[in-house]
Amino acid sequence: MEISVKVCPVQRSVGVALLACLHACLCPNASAQAGGTRADTTRGDSLKRTARSGLIPAGFGTLRQDDVALQVENLGLQVKLIPLDESVIRTLAPDSYKALHTIRENKARQLDSIRTRLGLPAVQAWLVTFFNAQQGEARYDAMDLIIRSAGRDFRPLDALAVKPGFGDGRLAQRESRSAVYAFDPVIDLTQPITVTIGTQTSSAWNDIAQRIELERSFVWSRAGAAKP
């Protein structure tokens, strides 16, 4: 004779609960490990997103200094301007990056002094180089330089000579002199910029910014491929 046993819902629920409790007792780390795995994955994804949106790693760029420089020629003088922001110079080949990073670091204390004196949250540093391409001596006005950004004109807050003699305002034939210029930090390097020196103007920054942004994506790829 067959005997039919009916299990009420309450008994079934109690049974499931007892099984779950028994599993938790026998495997106390199972839930923590599962939760930890999910947490680790989420944390790793978050770190990747943070790194991706931040500065690119140094040492993986391939651009030359001329690739990121605004260049203006005025009365036989060739003037080259490079922003020393890490977001820009990390796209350069390692030797160029190291050279410009060192120049910026050597002037860091003086730049901070300018920032403090003017009560600014920061200053934006640019390397500006004057080169005399004409015959004979050439003269230049180191402060006759304007950067236009977001509809505003910005003149240098100060200029810190890389080597002695910059302030003389004179260049022999084929001679060059450089200085680190401090500008207002609100100049937006992600937007179009126009530079005017004397009577000449360059608006090439938009093309340069696109080149920099493309190289940033390449740097991320190279850095990712280089990881063990």
Say if 167 falls within a structural domain. yes
Which tokens hold the place of 206?
């938009």
- Quick: pLDDT tens for 34-67: 444 544 444 344 334 434 458 999 999 999 999 9
What dihedral do alpha carbons 165, 171, 172, 177 form, nearest 10°?
60
Say if 53 falls within a structural domain. no
CB atoms within 10 A of CB 187: 18
**What φ, ψ does residue 200 adopt, rounded to 5°?**
-110, 145
Total length of the chain:
228
The answer on pLDDT for 103 being more than 70 is yes
Q: What pLDDT was estimated at residue 159? A: 98
Domain with 106 in it:
65-226
Q: What pLDDT was estimated at residue 227? A: 74
- 141 and 208 co-located in one domain: yes
- 107 and 219 co-located in one domain: yes
143/196 Cα distance (integer angstroms)? 11
Say if 149 falls within a structural domain. yes
Among 123, 140, 50, 59, smallest CA distance to 92 is for: 59
Residue matched to tokens 């160029």:
96
The CA-atom distances, in angstroms, between 116 and each of 27, 110, 122, 180, 184 are 60, 10, 8, 17, 13
Q: What pLDDT was estimated at residue 2? A: 43
Q: For residue 37, which amino acid is it?
A: T
- 11 and 118 co-located in one domain: no
CATH code of 76's domain: 2.60.40
- 115 and 196 co-located in one domain: yes
Q: What pLDDT was estimated at residue 23? A: 46
Say if 52 falls within a structural domain. no
The answer on pLDDT for 1 being more than 80 is no
- 102 and 200 co-located in one domain: yes
Q: What is the mean pLDDT of residues 136-158?
A: 96
- 73 and 16 co-located in one domain: no
Which residues, 6 or more positions from 38, have their beta carbon under 8 angstroms from its beta carbon?
A: none
152/183 Cα distance (integer angstroms)? 13
Say if 55 falls within a structural domain. no
Q: What is the mean pLDDT of residues 177-197?
A: 97
- 15 and 91 co-located in one domain: no
Which tokens hold the place of 84?
């020393």
Cβ atoms 206, 70 nearer than 8 A: no
- 165 and 213 co-located in one domain: yes
Q: Quickly state the pLDDT bin for 68 (edges 50, 70, 90).
A: very high
- 209 and 100 co-located in one domain: yes
Say if 125 falls within a structural domain. yes
Which residues, 6 or more positions from 211, have their beta carbon under 8 angstroms from its beta carbon?
A: 63, 67, 68
- 34 and 69 co-located in one domain: no
